[in-house]
Structure 1
């Protein structure tokens, strides 16, 4: 009994130690500065954060190069994600630099979990304030900034719409967007929209990216990107009878007109050029490495890269001297958003048939124009060895499914080869064309009568029924891609397609700019258009579900059918009730 009790106490002690060690491993003590570059007349926040522990005996760093304007202010936060709790304890100071130069905030220490923790050090670059230059610089600037203004046709260009402000901007409204004539444009969502501090012309600004678009030039020459027009709301104060009153000032901003110089690809273009411009990756797979001349080899070619994927044309993946290459099927062509830009993906499926037996080394290659090296590149990442044996002459594949192009050749006929007893070309009544011409007026009259009756039938139908049919067709058309992903069970692509279909439908219906497609603006637009509150709430709920699926990882393949029906019903009900 005593031995069992000792064993139980030992297990409890070990578990307690294990928990303590696991908790200690998660404890962190870090220092951060809110800016990396600033002026001497500006301020910066310095924060010490202790996670997953309660600290004591805090020893702050010596702020020798700074004035302490406020602090330390203390805050505690607890979060629970997927049932796992975490806590954070923070201390924040508001500092102003005493001099220009690269200033360092040295480490701090704190006691937690019966041990001392030491933070990292932080550096900030401080520039001398020039009141003369700063006085001439505007308080707000709107800029359309491009990754390059000198590109080749088909090359991806990233446009970031950036707002620079030295004031407290509380509202933004884009009034006009460029038409992007001469470009194929694709809006992006995965861009860094966090505020960043920058210094220009002696003035410190908070810069924030409001939107990002990938542009692909479709023609050569000097292309024009028109300005963005925006209204921003800025908090101001004025003295009224000895008291400061807060008010909102509406300020109009416009970006500059920008010119993009687009060049044609260098000539001569190499043989087998796919049309791709950018940087690409090639993946190839085959369904067999041994076959006979009676078989067809299936080869799947996947092209992925940062370029206009629509420009990628099918190319011959093998030597046509040894293989019969049939027109490929395009299994997939899509654009994917990424933090670096738009990624295109195109999948070809080839059917190729050997012309003879033997051992063949297949080395599919993609020829494209690389924008980094400004030269044509041949990409051949992998070789395949296929052994072909002689067949029996009985093919094991369906020629109709290979999409082969047939060629009709007319050859002269020797009169002696015409069978005796047959008459050719003397009796027109024996030809099909004769009877078609004879029956054509009768068929035309019958068609006119049928069309007239059909129009009468439509005129007598219930208008509500016609509206329902029209709405159902609109919903089905909008959600075609989402339905395809639903059948595949591809949850993330499905929710992306549903969100894009709903936003695209609302954008087209209400003529909204891309920047106004937020849930708040959508709700306001629907309400203004006379939509019932129940319909507005359904839109908000479904768009929120899509956001959770795309950005919080809450995707569930079992919910796809319900989400698809909800999206379809939303478009149908909107078509029926909102003008």
Structure 2
């Protein structure tokens, strides 16, 4: 009994100590990292009369917050303070991250480029400041796409000007030398509400060598000012182009199919029309203008060592050793680094002594394609094997290239290398040389192998599979497996042909992927992108589940299709109301559901409910 009482007391003391330890560590965990105080504005380019959000975030609890004056802007609300906390325990180590945000909703009232000053906050008695941020305000304009009276059987764009939706192929230069690179950017400009992009037909770029520049996986519209108007721009493709011939080269038009969401008016003349209006998706094809590039020929009287290399380069040559035993391999390396058409460079000629056995050079490249051009390194490794002892000289290697900036040829010459070859000791074996362009493998100094002599143990294999029971059972088993594979493949082919069934099955999975993107945007406080992804998830789910093309889907036919599937009217109405909330949040900035987290959870719940009813 005494031992049991002692054990219980120790157990209680241990639990109390653990609780005190956690209580002591918990408040300090958030301050283990350096304090960061940042400012952000979304978007950074706005029109007069447009509302936008400015946030000041600090990763520690602060006090005595001082906001900037916000001159040239009207303050609609703020500061609205929000707090988020996350705790992670990895390998027994707890990390606590906190974020305190002071949010303002501003309205642009005059044109110009304005600077929002620094905000200040105190954390544990120390003052911190944000960086200044710049917001550009341009003249506002009326919406380009008014509400249409009623949906038609074949949706067409109405009330949309060409200047509201267009695509361009933009190059950084219009005049280059043959072999000199230029950067082409295919960019979409829109002032409309795009719901998606359809077929794309990129230019062929005939007469150019092309290398694609890698774009981010998640590519979103960015705001830009063009001719005093705010556009949403999307980079569709960026390419490094290298002209292969001189003269005037034409870049053909880019063709692009865009899906635009238009408001459909009820047409009753009521003041509630704007609230109860629905949307439809219409398709418009846009194309860019042809673009001409003037390619100048390279100057005459090129050096004899010039083989078409254009750009700016540095070169380096080396040998791995200057003294070698006869029949041992030596490597001569030539490395070219720079920006230009390096990929097209062929191995330079190296004049070696006749007593040297040579192999095809090993070529390695490390080239990156960026908006600055094709930049990297190309190396040539020449393997040579001197057969006779003596003193030899590797003559200089000459490489010439054309520098477009200097508009002249540049010739580089490597230094000469002296190589001393000493005789091999009697009985010493040579080096095995493989993998440098010759099919046969040479064993220098040991070309002939002796035949093995003496007794060799041999045994007769008596296990003959023919006549065994399992040997005959294999035939029907193989036939059964073959028939099963054929049946499974036939069934899979039939399922793949049934596109409606495939879309129906993947509807929920695609919607959850969209909602995951929305959750990521919510964590980053990108509310416009958050509501856009939730809206796309909801519309995309209905399109896949009801087998209605996205371009033809609107509120009316969605309600009718859900009713045919015996979906309760209350559930269908709540689902479409959630989509309307997202649209209002994107354009009006405020909805009945002010909490984005609530919108996310509601969308997830409604999609799950529809999935259960539409099976």
Shorter-chain TM range is 0.5 to 0.7
C-alpha distance in structure 1 between counterparts of 2:111 and 2:503, whole Å: 59
Residue 400 of structure 1 deviates from its aligned partner by: 10
Task: Point out the more displaced range, 334-343 or 90-99.
Answer: 334-343
Alignment of 1:65-144 (within 5 A): 65-77=72-84, 83=90, 86-127=97-138, 138-144=163-169
Superposed CA offset, 1:321-377 (max 9, x none): 799684532343565444644446543221346799558687655422233333323
Aligned residue in 1 for 2:243: 217
Take 2:89 and 2:400, find their aligned partners in 1: how far apart are those partners?
47
The alpha carbon displacement at 1:80 in A equals 7.9
Change beyond 3 A, Cα 1:332–1:85: farther
State the Cα distance separating 1:274 from its structure 2 match: 4.3
Are the counterparts in 2 of residues 68 and 94 from structure 1 also a CA contact under 8 Å?
yes
Count the aligned residue pairs.
408
Distance 1:144 1:116, change over 3 A: same
Over 3 Å counting, the alpha-carbon distance change for 1:123 and 1:533 in structure 2 is closer
1:378-397 aligned within 5 A: 378-379=411-412, 386-389=418-421, 391=423
Tell me, yes or no, if the aligned pair for 2:340 and 2:373 is still in contact at 8 Å.
no
Given that 2:30 and 2:97 are in contact with CA atoms closer than 8 Å, whether structure 1 keeps it comes out as no
1:301 is aligned, of 334, 337, 342, to: 334
Aligned partners of 1:284 and 1:306: how far apart in 2?
18
- For residues 187 and 332 of structure 1, what CA distance do their matches in structure 2 show? 20
Q: How does 1:254-273 map to 2 (within 5 A)?
A: 254-273=287-306
Q: Deviations over 1:449-500 (max 9, x none)?
A: xxxxxxxxxxxxx9x99xx9xxxxxxxxxxxxxxxxxxxxxxxxxxxxxxxx
Tell me if structure 2 keeps the 8 A contact 1:54–1:112. Answer: yes
TM-score by length of 1: 0.57
Distance 1:306 1:111, change over 3 A: same
**Structure 2: distance between partners of 1:219 and 1:526:** 46
Match of 2:402 in 1: 369
C-alpha displacement of 1:56: 3.7
Cα deviation, 1:87-134, whole Å, max 9, x if unaligned, reads 433333232333344422221122334533222222334455699x9x
The answer to whether the aligner puts 1:58 opposite 2:65 as a matched pair is yes
C-alpha distance in structure 1 between counterparts of 2:120 and 2:326, whole Å: 76
Where in structure 1 are there 5+ consecutive unaligned residues? 1-11, 405-461, 469-523, 538-579
* 1:164 is aligned to 2:196: no
Deviations 1:178-219 (CA, angstroms, capped at 9, x unpaired): 222222223222469554432222211122212222222223
Tell me the SS of whatever aligns to 1:138: helix
Does structure 1 retain, via aligned residues, the 8 Å contact 2:53–2:106? yes
Residue in 2 that maps onto 1:329: 361
Q: Deviation digits for residues 134-186 of structure 1, max 9, x if unmatched?
A: x9881222111112232233333322111122233221123322222222223
Corresponding residue number in structure 1 for 2:258: 232
**C-alpha RMSD of the superposition:** 4.9
Q: 1:222 to 1:388 in 2, by over 3 A?
A: same
Report deviation, 1:316: 3.3
Residues 182 and 217, structure 1, Cα contact 8 Å, conserved in 2: yes
SS in 2 for 1:61: coil
Contact conserved, 1:144 with 1:255, CA < 8 A, in 2?
A: yes
Q: Deviations over 1:364-396 (max 9, x none)?
A: 55422233333323456x868545256479996
Asked if structure 2 preserves the Cα contact closer than 8 Å seen for 1:38 and 1:198, the reply is: no
Q: Which runs of 5+ in 2 are unaligned?
A: 1-19, 145-159, 439-478, 486-494, 509-615
Distance, in Å, in 1 between the alignment partners of 2:88 and 2:190 is: 35
